[in-house]
Amino acid sequence: MSTQVPETETETETEAETEVEHGEPLAPAQQERMRKKAEGRAEREERAKQEAEERANAEDDTYHLKVFRFDPEVEGKQEPRFDDFHVPYKKGMTVLDALIYARDTFDSSLTFRHSCRQAICGSDALFVNGSQRLGCKTQLSDLDEPVRVEPLPHADVEKDLVVDMEHFYDQMESVEPYFDADELPDGELEEQRQTRENREKVKMSTRCIWCGACMSSCNIAAGNNEYLGPAAINKAYRFAMDEREGEDRKQHRLNILEQENGVWRCQTQFSCTEVCPKDIPLTEHIQELKREAVKSNLKFW
């Protein structure tokens, strides 16, 4: 549909026609009113033209999503496949927004995890256009079409975009991810203080939201199911480097990390660091724990 509008009469043309009609020149005040009237009409027509163009563009501005589908419990859907969804785009729309629209509008059986929609819960980690990302943090406008949405690799698929996270949680639990000081304060209200420098040291490691993106991207974890993985090692780093726990607990954690499938399995590929949605320097933390392990072993020589 054409959005062109007739050209607006110029001020000179309007005044000339008015003067001809009345047979005499217009008063200055009337000329000013006529000029403003013509300008207002031109502005309205230009605004209408812009709005028409925006509506026309909005009708055509959709994003093409290719979404992985799999349902082991429904006959006919047990074979993995990709379904196509064409979602109307709105400014600021994320991959998660598009998935929610597709589910609510086209197919209510489309299954995926999400909760806070603010990159805090970590539940909507996905494999988007070949990279691990949070659905709620990834802008559609930053992606090439078609947008290919898949479940996290290296994990068993439960249904559609939902994967089994039990193994990931088991690995996290194995490093004892909780604060356990050697000594507790004597007084009930006495504080267990931490220096500013030590807080800065462990600050980045505390940002982990357990999304599993790093574990999914790790080539070592993909081939070795016993490897602790970057998320679990980072969680161990957070407490091993906390000065309030004391040397005994630090040594205990290093013993856990020094096992056959601990820190020494990391091959420093930086894939985990690249995909972390919280920009945690995971590879650097793992290398620092390696150095701490070496120093700990040298004490006995």
All structural domains of the chain: 62-163 (3.10.20.30), 166-183+195-298 (1.10.1060.10)
Average pLDDT over residues 227-240: 96
Distance CA 173, CA 228 (A): 10
Q: Let me know if 239 is exposed, middle or buried by CB neighbors in 10 A (0-12, 13-18, 19+).
A: buried
Average pLDDT over residues 5-21: 46
Q: Are 112 and 71 in contact (CB under 8 A)?
A: no
Lowest mean pLDDT among 22-31, 138-147, 199-208: 22-31
Strands (E) located in the chain: 62-69, 81-88, 125-128, 131-134, 147-150, 157-159, 162-163
Distance CA 272, CA 128 (A): 16
Checking if the pLDDT of 188 tops 50, the result is yes
pLDDT of residue 300: 57
Average pLDDT over residues 108-129: 96
- Residues 84, 89, 90, CA angle at the centre, nearest 5°? 155
Distance CA 219, CA 221 (A): 5
Q: What is the pTM of this model?
A: 0.76
Q: Which residue in 242, 219, 126, 233 sits closest to 172, CA to CA? A: 233
> Sign of the C-alpha dihedral, residues 71, 73, 74, 78?
positive
Lowest mean pLDDT among 34-43, 248-257, 262-271, 285-294: 34-43
Average pLDDT of the chain, as a whole number: 87
Checking if the pLDDT of 167 tops 70, the result is yes
Q: Any idea how long the chain is?
A: 301
Q: Which secondary structure element, helix H or strand E, spans residue 252, and what is its range?
A: helix 247-257
Q: Which two tokens stand for residue 76?
A: 């006919």
pLDDT of residue 262: 95
pLDDT of residue 232: 97
